[in-house]
Amino acid sequence: MANFEQLGIRPEWCEILKHQGITVPTPVQERSIPVLLGGRDIIAEAQTGTGKTLAFLLPIIQKINVSDRSPQALIIAPTRELALQITEEAKKLTANDDKLHVLAVYGGQDVDKQLRKLQNGTQIVIGTPGRLLDHLRRGTLKLDNVKKLVLDEADQMLHMGFLDDVETILSELPHKRQTMLFSATMPKGIRNLAKTYMKDPEDVKVSSQSVIPIKQIRQQVLECTDRGKLEALRGMIDTYRPYLAIIFCRTKRRASKLNQDLREAGYASDELHGDLSQSKRENVMKAFRDAKLQVLVATDVAARGLDVEGVTHVFNYDMPHDAESYIHRIGRTGRAGGTGLAVTFATEHDRPELARIEQGIDQKLSRIQWTSEGPIASTGAARRSINSQGDDERSGGRSSGTGSARRGAGRNDGGRGGRGSRGGEGGRSGGRSGGRSGDSSRGAAGRGSARSGDSSRSATGQSGRSGGRSGGRSGDERSAGRGSARTSDSSRGAAGQGGRGAASSGWAGRSADKRSSGRSSEGSRRPESAGRGPAKGDRRDSRRGR
């Protein structure tokens, strides 16, 4: 494989890349850079996270005439977040060159500040269609000298309805220019745009055996009900303990409500959607990049272009609209050769959309269900437990004992972890169950009860469903989740006393034995320490397992 200098990048730029830890070009960079340095138009199609940004930035920066302060390169991005991200990468490359200027132009920012910078002169302008049109109409942005044009994430512009705005901007550009079109997919509308505005473009397509990088992203479908979604999500977060996770919702209102629920439950989360002011969005993204937040609840506005190092898990809380949205959502993890886990929540009503997504990616996704014991596979002859054991299930997640997404989740509320406790502080085991204990401490560690070490689990069929949440698990008054019953040390959840006997939220394996789903029978009562409220305390900001 060639290095950057062999591709035609000058040594001074190669040295800057080396300081950033970038020495080997990605396939899309290796194939695109020589074409662009040669002056040809290009249509580059590659998966997200493959290095498309550097593929066009390096040739552009190398060709800029620093003695001319007028705009020479225009980069159009569909969202503010992506525009800011490209700007950040460009500024990293040009940090040591005070003659090369980069400006981001997007809505929500002070227009007067942008005007002053445009008047002072800038060679590279990176912006969103709406704000670029605004400056063109004001006469504050002159594109007469633009020689390089980039349409980044072009398919998303089509999806968001920006195509007319883009064509209006293109009409203001010189006819003699180099046009670069980069995207993860190339729908028919974008191909037609390319035919109209590009001259004999070089087609570069970097593909793998699958539309999605299977080796980097493990994909699962969690079958659940609408009512059980939140509980299942919290359980998955506690089980997998992601370093950084993005949760996708379909609407701004739904994202806001879910973020509120997670914050009230003690998780270090925040929201990202179109109703936030630009300053708020920037603050949220900075906190997420700095790992001060562990969970980001977002709408699809964040699904494109965001490249946050360390995102180990993506949760599609609401089903994506189509296969393309699915690809771009889960592409936030497993970036640039990293690993990740993507879990899509599916209710019974989501079956048709899920089938279309699987058809679109030409892949059958594995099914799991959520139970009180953790996630279990819902396909095959026998359902098997797939909880947090094994690196393949917790790709990139926190290692055992490094904490969880919930602030102070590993601490006991008024009790002690007990002997033999494992996992995080206070005996959280695998992020789900409490400390394994044989004494009578009241360990209210999140959702899971402290497991008694002296007797076997409830017999299959006696507490509702096999593998479910049994009744009282010891003779003391432990916090055993919902409806724990007082029983003897050797009987854990005898028939009729099983509390909510395995409230599995899956729609594929609903038990007809709903009679055990009520509250615990005679003699059971909920102790004072029962409940889910997290103890106070800050989340440990460990970066292990990134």
Model confidence pLDDT, tens digit, residues 68-88:
999 999 999 988 888 988 998
C-alpha–C-alpha distance, residues 399 and 389, integer Å: 10
Distances (CA, A) of 323 to 36, 209, 357: 30, 17, 4
Angle at Cα 533 formed by Cα 527 and Cα 534, nearest 5°? 125
Q: Please name each of the domains of the chain with its CATH number.
A: 4-206 (3.40.50.300), 217-377 (3.40.50.300), 437-546 (no CATH)
* DSSP assignment string, 186-213: --HHHHHHHHHH-SSPEEEEE--SSSS-
Model confidence pLDDT, tens digit, residues 346-377:
999 999 889 988 887 888 999 998 887 778 87
* pTM of the predicted structure, to 2 decimals: 0.52
Signed CA dihedral, 70, 76, 82, 86: sign only: negative
**Residues forming beta bridges with residue 501, ordered by sequence position:** none
E strand or H helix that includes residue 303:
none
Model confidence pLDDT, tens digit, residues 407-422:
544 433 433 333 333 3
Model confidence pLDDT, tens digit, residues 505-525:
445 444 334 333 443 333 333
- Are 390 and 426 contacting, i.e. CB atoms less than 8 angstroms apart? no
- Are 77 and 86 contacting, i.e. CB atoms less than 8 angstroms apart? yes
Candidate from 73-77, 224-228, 463-467 with smallest mean pLDDT: 463-467
- Are 287 and 541 contacting, i.e. CB atoms less than 8 angstroms apart? no
Model confidence pLDDT, tens digit, residues 475-488:
333 333 333 333 33
What dihedral do alpha carbons 455, 457, 460, 464 form, nearest 10°? 120
